[in-house]
Every structure is written in C-alpha cells, then in structure tokens.
Amino acid sequence: MRRFALLISSGAFSSGIAFGSFAGWDEARVWILVCTGIAVTLCLVFRRESVLFVVWLGMCAFGGMFLAVHEGEYYRALEEQNNVQGVGVVRGEMSIGALDARLVLSASDCEGHICPKENILFRTSQYETFTDGMRVYFGPCNLKRPEQFDPNFDYPMYLAKEGIGFVATRCPITRIPTRGDWFGAGLHATRVFIASMIGKWIPEPEAGLARGLILGGSDELPETLVRDFRTVGLSHIVAVSGYNISVLAGGLFLVGIGLGWYRKRAVWIALLGTVLFVFLVGAPASAVRAALVALVGFGALLVSRPVPSMSILCFAAALMLMGNPLLLRYDIGFQLSFLATFAILFSAPWRSRFQKFHWFIGYFIEAFLITFSVLLFVTPLTLVYFGTLSPYALFANVIALPLVPITFLLSLLVVLLGWIPGIGALIGWIAYGTLHGLIVIVEIMARFPGANASFSSVRWWMIALWYGNCFLFLLWQRRLLRKSEETEMI
C-alpha cells in the first residue's frame, strides 16, 4: 500500500477536483456529510492504520472538491467594473488576428481604487506592439464579463482557467518607457533572438515549423499547412508537449554526462535547462506538467529513490490542479496531454512483450505501439470535442514522429551555433532538409481520400464504454505478463 500511497492520494485529490468542477456548494455539503458518515463507520470496524489512510484520502478529496467549487463560484460571481484606469503589466505575447490583436494585462495600480485581481483581456489594434513584461497605462476602461457565445462552450470559464476575469474593448493603452518586469523582458528578447536566428538560416514555411517546435504554436505557419497538420493528426508536434520536454531534458542530461560529470551532477543541467525552457515558451499547461514529471523523476534520481512513473504523472497533475483547479474541466489540452502520457505509461508492460526483435525493427514496432496506445486513449475525447478523425493518423504518426526529435534538436543547434560563420549555414541546410521532409509527408497524406472524416453523434456513454474496454484489455495484458514472468522464474 505504501508503494501506491502517492498514486492513490493524487487520484483522490484529482477526483475531488473533478466532482467539484461540476458541483456547487449544496452538492458539496451533501457529499461531505455522506463521506463523513462512511468514515465514522469505518473507524468502528477496521484497524486504526487503515482508517487513518481512508481519512487521509477523504481529506485529499475534500480539499480538491473545495478548491474546484470555490474557484468556479469565485469567477462566476465577478461583477463588471466601469471607468477603471491605471498602470498594468503585459502578461505573455500578443495574439494577432485578422482584424485586431489581443493581449493579457494584469493591473497593478488603479490610481487609488482597488485593482481587479484577475487578468484583463484587451482587444487592441493589430498594428500596436506590446511585449511580455511591458508596463502600460490603460483607461479609462469598462471591464466587462466575457460573453457566452455558444451554449455548448463555456467561454467565460475557458478564459478563467487562464486567470482572465474581464474583457476590455476600445480601451486606450499607452506604453510606459521603463520596463517593469526584467525577467519577462529577457524572455521576450530571447524568443525574438530564437525566431530571428531561425529565420536567418531557414526559409519559410520550414522556419515557421522550426519556431513551432521550439517555442510552441502554429501561428506562423500558413493556414493551409495548419489545416493539413490537423487533418493527418499531427498538429500536436507544433505544441510544446511532454515529447519536446523529454527530448530536451534527456539531451541536456547526456550533455552533462558527456562533460564527464557524475549522474547526480548532470541532473542539475537537465533540471535548470527544463525550467528555463518552460518559462521561455510561456509556461503552457502541457509544458508545466511535463516539466513537473521530469523534475520529480530527476529529483528521485538525486535522492536515489525510484518512484513509479504512474505515481509521478498523477502527482504532477495533482500539483497543477492544486494551483489551478479549473484545468481539469475547461482545458482540453490538459485532458488530451494527460491521457496521452497516461497511455504511454499504462501500456508499457504490454509493449514490453514486443521487445525481442532486432533493434531496427523493434524501433518501428515500438513507435507503432506507442502511437496506437496514445490514439486509443485520445481519439474518443477528440471525437467529442472536435467531431473529426483521421483514418491515417496512426500511419502518419509512425512515419513522422521519428523525424520530430531530429528536427527539434537541429533547430536548437541552429539557434545555439548559428552565429558561427559557416556552421550556422551548414546546420540550417541540414535542418531545412528534415523540416521540408516532414512538411512533404504531411501535405501528401492530407490529400489521401477520406483523410478528414467527421462524426457528430458521439455520446459520453460511448466514451465510457470505450475507456472501460481499453482498461480491461491492458489490465488483462498486465496479468498475462505477470504470469509469464512467474512461470519463467519457476
């Protein structure tokens, strides 16, 4: 039981978050009374050690439920404010659209009035330039609550998960010469340097793909290419995910080993580089979660205590939900990336049965099985949210994913060594070849017949049945593997 204490505790806390995300205070009070009665009954029947553990799990679940209910009710109860003006700090980079631009601002000084604690989403001219960490003077503004445009999409809570409570349009914003956030300014300058170095040695649209691999996002790719990536099920490679983080952390760790350092000393390079990279890309949920998994895993290596990978994943998710309980229900990226990572870890015993082949053949078999496992867990949720499914997603991922770490590392080398005459051009030429090959694969497969199939009648009970069968199948495979290992030992 002690081995799985972290896993069970994290699961109890996340379950409380899940219940609180869909419940109000009335339902929460009823549930607390019922569970308290169950806990009292257990105290009279079972041993003290078991009762204490059950009580601890109940406290974790109650804590998660309280956080989720409180956070949801807090944002729903926000009231609009008029004639607000003062000084604020830009958070993150501008998002430039076809007609306007959007930026997120946190107010710090409202000229004698109480500033809203929540961030404000400003819509401004696309010809203005505001960067992360820049201090601005805004107002007077009328801060409105986000509108519910679609009954099937809770837009106010979607913004709330990002800490945004208000929206302001046609509000004057003026830059202040002095910068208030030197760290944000440094990150912005670093992002600009990375983008310029890639653009110097790699032509478009391959340069846009390289920037997407390193900095995340597909904003700089042509719309037709973005549609092709989405059609063949490869849009995830331009999002900062656990895959990118694992490649970076593993590469930094090997760099430390290559320098002749001991393993525990090389870990610090991987830890520091991972943290800085997460801040560099704007700390999206997927990157933070992947970084937490890497930090806990490397931390276990430092103290020489191996921790089960599933426990690390659930603990990382619980830490993120503790900081922002709205992620579980309103962040689709959080749900999909957690399911993908969970699928990789949970299917590991099943995939281990296919490791007896030659290393070259085994590599493609492993890539196929990992992709199949991820699609097995991710596809139902994508059908619910997006209603589309590419029949070639499995084939496309098996072909394209081996190129992703190569293109990612080559793009990083262009940034790190691009200032050296001759070296930058050589690495840029090699990186261009791999990036172009990846784009060609996507464009060809997106033209296959039936590549973008649509489904509009998927129900939640179908999803529950699908996941139930997946769990039963993988648990059955685990049991078979355990029996075979016991037979070999005899």
The answer, yes or no, to whether the previous bond of 140 is cis (omega within 30 of 0) is yes
What CATH number is attached to the domain comprising 128? 2.40.50
Same structural domain, 94 and 9: no
Task: Out of 48, 76, 104, pick the residue that ends a domain.
Answer: 76
Q: H or E segment at 119?
A: strand 119-124
At 100 the pLDDT is: 75
Q: How far apart are the first and last CA of the chain?
A: 26
Is 434:406 a contact under the CB 8 Å cutoff?
A: yes
- Of 336, 314, 326, which is closest to residue 381 (Cα–Cα)? 336
Provide the angle, in degrees to the nearest 10, between the axes of the packed helices 423-446 and 206-215.
100
In whole angstroms, what is the distance from residue 431 CA to residue 438 CA? Answer: 11
Residue 157 falls within a domain, yes or no? yes
Give 63's Cβ-side CA count (13 Å radius).
17
CB atoms within 10 A of CB 489: 6
Report the amino acid identity of residue 396: A
Residue 421 counted as domain residue: no
Q: Output the pLDDT for position 251.
A: 65
Sign of CA dihedral 310, 313, 317, 320: positive
The range of the structural domain enclosing residue 150 comes to 81-180
> What integer pLDDT is reported at residue 468 of this predicted model?
82
Collect the ranges in the chain with pLDDT lower than 50.
none
User: Do 114 and 95 reside in the same domain of the chain?
Assistant: yes
Q: What is the pTM of this model?
A: 0.74
Q: What is the pLDDT of residue 1?
A: 53
Q: Is residue 30 part of a domain?
A: yes
Same-domain status, 132 and 169: yes
What's residue 184's pLDDT? 64
C-alpha 59, offset from chain centre: 27
Structure tokens at 100: 């306007």
Question: Which pLDDT score, from 0 to 100, does residue 81 have?
Answer: 85
The answer to whether residue 134 sits within a structural domain is yes
CA distance 58 to 70: 18
What is the model's pLDDT at position 115?
81
Residue 137, phi then psi, degrees to nearest 5? -110, 125
- How many folded domains does the chain comprise? 2
Compute the distance between CA of residue 297 and CA of residue 307 in angstroms, rounded to an integer. Answer: 7
